[in-house]
């Protein structure tokens, strides 16, 4: 038996054979015992191949998950980029002198039919409804049509996580049209109802700007100081400091 093991070890390099009891190999000739060993090796090789197949399947699943993760990360970056572009566009409009009431009355208003969102379905999901309002601002530049869309979104989806942002952008659009009291109402909604919103600091800043625009300097000062105290080292705080210096 020892000689048989040495022969097999020489014929199959890298395979270490432990001396098996005669009972496991069965009785019979050398050829029969060799056949038994070959069956054992075949079974072992089959098990190894099955394990390799499982590993290959797992690797494919991991690669698929990694691809989906990268895709989601890209989509998130696109959303953040869109938000940054919206912020820049609205701030650009706010930097211009807001239209006065007399100018608004002198400007011909579009008919309701002309202001409707042509090409949009009225049957929208929460995400689609919010995207629709955003597109009206960013892509179509239809600010007058965006206002009712944001209002409709807030009414239809009052529990949406987008509601604080909808109030904020609605306030921005209303301010740009010179509707300061309505804008103040929207910014106040963010400040009072959504303490964890990432737009709360900006909304406090905008309340200060509205107060400053309406000639209420003391109220404006209190809002600017509130931003600085509650959101130190933030972008709204930096803007508030500049506003305070010019009061």
Are residue 169 and residue 133 in the same domain, yes or no? yes
Task: Say whether both 228 and 128 belong to one domain.
Answer: yes
Cα 74 to chain center, whole Å? 9
Please indicate, yes or no, whether residues 126 and 240 belong to a single structural domain of this protein: yes
Query: Residue 232 belongs to a domain with what CATH number?
Result: 1.25.40.10
9 and 85 part of one domain: no
Is residue 18 one of the residues assigned to a domain? yes
Residue 169, pLDDT > 70, answer yes
**DSSP letter at 206?**
H
Q: Are residues 219 and 138 in the same domain?
A: yes
Provide the 10 A C-beta neighbour count for residue 178: 16
Model confidence pLDDT, tens digit, residues 171-215: 999 998 899 999 999 999 999 999 999 999 999 999 999 999 999
Q: Are residues 167 and 211 in the same domain?
A: yes
pLDDT digits (tens, 9 = 90+) for 89-132: 555 454 444 444 333 433 333 333 333 333 334 445 888 888 88
Total domain count, the chain: 2
DSSP state for residue 64 in the 8-state scheme: H
Domain containing residue 193: 80-93+120-246
Q: Would residue 107 count as lying in a domain?
A: no
Residues 227 and 137 in one domain: yes
Residues belonging to the chain: 247
The pTM of the whole model exceeds 0.75: no
Cβ burial 138-158 (10 Å sphere, 16+ → b, else e): beeebbebbbbbbebbbeebe
Which of 41-55, 70-84, 132-146, 162-176 is predicted most confidently?
162-176
Share of the chain above pLDDT 90, in %: 36
Cα dihedral 49, 53, 54, 56, rounded to 10, equals: 130
Identify whether 130 is part of a domain. yes
Cα maximum dimension of the chain = 113
Number of Cβ atoms within 10 Å of the Cβ of 36: 15
Mean pLDDT, the chain, as a whole number? Answer: 74
């Amino acid at each position: 038996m020892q000689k048989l093991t040495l022969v097999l070890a020489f014929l199959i390099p890298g395979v270490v054979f432990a001396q098996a009891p005669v009972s496991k190999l069965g009785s019979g000739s050398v050829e029969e015992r060799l056949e038994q060993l070959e069956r054992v090796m075949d079974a072992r090789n089959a098990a190894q191949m099955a394990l390799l197949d499982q590993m290959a399947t797992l690797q494919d699943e991991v690669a698929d998950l990694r691809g989906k993760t990268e895709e989601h990360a890209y989509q998130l970056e696109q959303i953040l980029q869109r938000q940054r572009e919206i912020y820049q566009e609205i701030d650009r409009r706010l930097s211009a002198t807001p239209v006065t009431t007399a100018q608004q009355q002198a400007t011909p208003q579009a008919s309701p039919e002309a202001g409707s969102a042509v090409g949009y379905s009225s049957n929208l999901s929460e995400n689609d409804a919010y995207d629709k309002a955003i597109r009206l601002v960013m892509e179509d530049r239809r600010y007058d049509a965006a206002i009712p869309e944001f209002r409709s979104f807030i009414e239809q989806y009052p529990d949406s996580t987008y509601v604080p942002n909808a109030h904020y952008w609605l306030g921005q659009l209303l301010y740009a049209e010179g509707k300061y009291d309505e804008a103040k109402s929207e910014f106040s909604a963010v400040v009072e109802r959504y303490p964890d919103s990432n737009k709360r600091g900006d909304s406090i800043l905008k309340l200060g700007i509205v107060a400053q625009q309406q000639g209420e300097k003391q109220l404006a000062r209190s809002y600017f100081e509130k931003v600085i105290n509650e959101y130190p080292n933030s972008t709204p705080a930096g803007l508030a400091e500049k506003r305070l210096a010019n009061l």
